[in-house]
Amino acid sequence: MSQLNVDSLRNRSGGAPSFPSGATVTGVITATTFSGNITGTAATFTGNVSIAGTLTYEDVTNVDSVGLITARTGIVVSAGGLNVTGISTFVNDVRFRGGVIENVSAATTYNSAAGALVVEMDVRAATTYTYTIPTGANIGIVSFKNMPADAQNGTTITLITTQNAAGTGNTTAATGIGTNCTVIPFAAGAALAGISTRGLVGSATTVTLSSTGADRDFTSFFIHYTGGTNTSASSYQVYVTKNGGFRQGSVGV
């Protein structure tokens, strides 16, 4: 049987046909509606599928969608985490059971062509970075690598610095952390040339680190791509703020 049309098999009383022992069809089943449970190993629908109740995925590794997946009341991620490789926009409620886990990495360092120490953080790899400042060194440039620049967005990067024993790293206004920044945009699947800019700080001051040896400082950078020309420095705004001078207390375990 190449095609089964339910309308052509109605019983004599005009009601729907009944298949008490089941029906096996190797071709196409055409019906106006389906009522009850549909169970199978695979199914293909060429038109729209409307589900009034709950759609439950059991033992599904991936949900593959070519277009948008819209959740009207929220998305709950209970295990395994949420991995996003591109830009994510959350309009309503996204809840993470067990809290939000941020990736922590060690910052990459190198010297610029002019000899300045560059502390680089990859925006696509982590949201928190750590760095211990060597004795006699100062951070000359804070670099934000792979900043998404396909559409307007913003991201927060936190840098946890540990002061050297001498307390000499970035402790004066002249060497304020975040004074010199580099943004390396990431657009259309590739990194663009680095753009030099300055951090925006409260009342046009500078952000300096604690001068006490072994103190830890938390410096937060909010990088905002305004959606303008992604190769122009005016399209990127880096806001800088700091909580610092942290050390172990004398009370506790």
Label residue 25 by pLDDT band (50, 70, 90). confident
Per the document, the length of the chain is 253
Q: Output the pLDDT for position 169.
A: 95
Structural domain range at position 224: 104-246
In a domain, 187, yes or no: yes
The verdict on residue 227 lying in a domain is: yes
Supply the pLDDT for residue 28. Answer: 73
What's residue 232's pLDDT?
96
pLDDT at 152: 95
Q: Is residue 253 part of a domain?
A: no
Arithmetic mean of pLDDT over the chain: 83
Would you say residue 194 lies in a domain? yes
152 found inside a domain: yes
Count how many domains the chain has. Answer: 1
In a domain, 86, yes or no: no
The SS3 assignment for 217 reads strand
Q: Facing residues of 196 across strands?
A: 182
pTM: 0.65
- Has residue 3 been placed in a domain? no
- Cβ contacts of 74 within 8 Å, gap of 6 or more: 92, 93, 94, 95
Identity of the amino acid at 136:
G
> Does the residue 7 lie in any domain?
no
| Residues with Cβ within 8 Å of residue 181, at least 6 apart in sequence | 141, 142, 143, 144, 196, 197, 198, 199, 221, 238
pLDDT digits (tens, 9 = 90+) for 214-226: 999 999 999 999 9
Residues 153-188 have pLDDT tens digits of 999 999 999 999 999 999 998 889 988 999 999 999
